[in-house]
């Protein structure tokens, strides 16, 4: 089973039923998923924004978040000083650099729908 680092753009699309959900599912199918601990916070932030925008769907959004957080994800800590160096070297936010760092550290591909992050990942061998 191939291993991949997944970011919030891909997992969020899947669990919240966004337009690219089917694409996200195809990318994650039969994959061992790795993510920095940050992913949980980012998914929770996405859920918050959606619950504010669509208060009538609050319970459905909460359920989707709980399902997403209960997936078989290898939650992994990152080396924060190295993430900072990577962010400064690439121009990425420290959040995005966390995913890139993990991908490089584990030597596995990063999957993202974020175009800037995907570009930097490709340029940095992730």
Please report the pLDDT score of residue 126 as a whole number.
61
* CATH number for position 40: 3.40.50.1010
- Name the nearest CA neighbour of 31 among 107, 111, 102: 111
**Beta strand spans in the chain (E):** 3-6, 32-36, 73-76, 110-111
- Geometric angle at alpha carbon 76, from 72 and 80, rounded to 5°: 155
**Domain enclosing residue 66, as ranges:** 3-123
* 122 band by pLDDT with thresholds 50, 70 and 90: confident
For residue 100, what are the contacts with CB-CB under 8 A and spacing of at least 6? 86, 90, 92, 110, 117, 120, 121, 124, 126
pTM for this one?
0.93
- What total number of domains does the chain contain? 1
* pLDDT average, residue stretch 22-35: 96
Tokens 């993510």: give the residue.
35
């Amino acid at each position: 089973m191939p291993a991949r680092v997944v970011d919030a753009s891909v997992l969020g699309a899947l669990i919240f039923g966004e337009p690219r959900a089917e694409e996200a599912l195809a990318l994650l199918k039969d994959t061992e998923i790795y993510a920095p601990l940050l992913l949980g916070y980012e998914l929770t932030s996405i859920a918050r924004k959606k619950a504010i925008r669509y208060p009538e769907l609050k319970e459905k959004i909460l359920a989707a978040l709980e399902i997403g957080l209960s997936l078989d994800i290898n939650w992994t800590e990152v080396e924060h000083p190295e993430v900072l160096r990577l962010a400064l070297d690439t121009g990425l936010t420290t959040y995005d650099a966390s995913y890139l760092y993990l991908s490089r550290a584990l030597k596995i591909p990063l999957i993202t729908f974020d175009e800037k992050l995907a570009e930097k990942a490709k340029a940095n061998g992730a």
